[in-house]
Structures are given as C-alpha cells and as structure tokens.
Amino acid sequence: MLEQQLLNGMILGSLYALLSVGFSLIVGILKMITFAHGDVFMAGAFSGLVALLVFPHSFLAALAGAVAGAAILGAITEWAAFRPFRSGPEMAPALVTIGFSIVLQALVLLVAGADTKPFPFELDFGRWTVSGITVSGLELATIGTALAVLAGLGLAIAGTRWGLALRATAAHYQAAQIMGINTDRVVLAAFVLGSGLAGLGGLLFGAYYGAFYPLMGVVISMKALAAATLGGIGNVGGAIIGAYLLGIIENLVAGYLSANYRDVIAFAILILVLLIRPAGILGRGEEEKV
C-alpha cells in the first residue's frame, strides 16, 4: 500500500516537475510570472496528437510533436508577453499571459472540441509485479523520461557556457547584459526549454490518464506553481524537489486521509511555505534594498 502510494507519487511528481521547472526558469530570470504555462502544456499535448496524424502509431513522434509544439508556443509567449515589458511594470506580462491562456484554450476548443480524448492507441510497454506493487512500462517510461530530461537540464545549467549565461542573467540581468551576454536570447532559450518540457509533460499526462481536453492544464499548472514555490521559486533544483515532494504528499493524503482534500493540501502547503519561508526549500532569501 505505502509502496504503491509512493510510486503514484513519483509519477505525479514527474509530471509536476516537467511543469514546475518552466515556472522556475522564468521566475528565476525575469522575476515575472506566466499564467499561460498550463495551456502551453495542454496545447503541446494536443500538438503531439496532431503529430500522430502524420506518423500514426509512433509514440516517439507524439513526444517529439508535443515538445516542438509547446516550444514554439513558449517562444510566442516570450515574444508577445515578456519581451515588450522587459524590466517594465512587473504585472503587465502576467496580464498578457492571462489573455494568451484564454486564447489557447479557445483555439484548442474550436479545433478539437470540448470532449475528453483518449490516447489514440494502446500503449503497452509491459507490466511487472515486484513485491506486491504493480508497475507498468508507461509508468516507468514517465518517471524515467522525466528524470533523464531533468538531469540533462541540470547538467546543462551547471556545466555549459549557455548554462553559465543563464545563471549570470538570473543573478543580475543588467550586469549580464553589460558583460556581453545576449540576455534576450537567454530568456528566449529559457522559454523554449521550459515550454518544451511542459509539452513533454502534457503528452505523458494525457497518455497516462488517457485524457486530452482543453482545460487539462489549469489545475495541474497551479499545483506545479505550488511545487516550484515549495522548492524555492527561481531555483531549478528546488522546483524538481518540490514537485516530487508535492506528488508524494498528495498521494499519501489521498491514500490515508481523504481523497477530497488532496488539492487543498497542495495549496495549503503553498501558502504555508510563502508565509514561513518564502524562499522555499533551496532558495535564498533576498534582502530588501532601500
């Protein structure tokens, strides 16, 4: 029982992590927030389904389509909502992303309809039972893909020139600019990467739960934002830790306390973290400057 809940928590945590990393990258660099991330996740998942129309019965094509579609939408988000307001009023981009989120939902609703769609073919990667808990190939693939991709992202941030530019931009936008870093390109890369991961998460979510629908990103993106805040918003490692923690806590609450209040727990944790330690688990608090 406990093992099964932990496994479910890891799966949910993997999906949260693919979303929360995007939130953290954007907040980390721009100190601004996007509300279209959940709908990029959703539209990415749907573009994965579109890829299947071209390459039927190829799970890899669906994954690639979802990543590519979401990455393009991420670039559009940055271009339409964030680039015009660089270091301008903090909340203007958030408002534009609210509009963009409505647009994305309306577009998918128009094209695909409001009904819930299953994944078009059965994904059978085998099924094993190890000491009482059953795990399917799709579940392992979800956790494995998420962990591999996130580890790759972590290595890229820690070890490459691009990662250095990203960290420098996050540390001080103007100083990085003066040092000759093309900050606009760094921001664009962060959006493309974060959104691509969200698209990957969207397709895995839809395939795992067998449900693709226009509002599929709304609740999960708010939870992923809670997870990113829990881990320390702006910190990619923190976002991943927060995501797995939240996924596991939620499943434990649902399994042992009450399934109705699993969502309440997520948001209660969010508010408690913000009140007790706004910097989250890994983040460092910023001092108020006069």
Q: Which residues bind other proteins (CB under 8 A)?
A: 27, 31-33, 35, 80-81, 84-92, 94-96, 98-107, 109-110, 174, 177-178, 218, 222, 225-226, 229, 233, 260-261, 263-264, 267-268, 270-271, 274-275, 278, 288, 290
Smallest gap from Cβ 252 to other proteins, in A, equals 18
Paired tokens of 286: 């910023």
Residue number, 110 or 130, with CB nearest to other proteins: 110
Q: Say which amino acid occupies 86.
A: R
Tell me whether residue 207 or residue 249 sits nearer to other proteins (CB atom): 249
Q: Is 127 helix (H, G, I), strand (E, B) or coil?
A: strand
Report how far residue 226's alpha carbon sits from residue 243's, in angstroms, rounded to the nearest whole number. 8
Minimum distance, C-beta of residue 245 to other proteins, in the bound complex (Å)? 16
First to last CA, the chain: 53
Q: Which is nearer to other proteins, 44 or 64 (CB)?
A: 44
For residue 42, how many C-alpha atoms fall within 13 Å in the half-sphere facing its CB?
Answer: 30
CB of 219 to other proteins, least distance (A): 8
Minimum distance from residue 273 beta carbon to other proteins (Å): 9
- Tell me the DSSP string of 47-97: HHHHHHHHSTT-HHHHHHHHHHHHHHHHHHHIIIIIGGGTTS-THHHHHHH
Single out the residue of 204, 75, 50, 80 nearest to residue 140, CA to CA. 204
**Please, what is the minimum distance in Å from the beta carbon of residue 27 to other proteins?**
7
Nearer to other proteins, 150 or 265 (CB): 265
Identity of the residue, 53 or 95, whose beta carbon is nearer to other proteins in the bound complex: 95
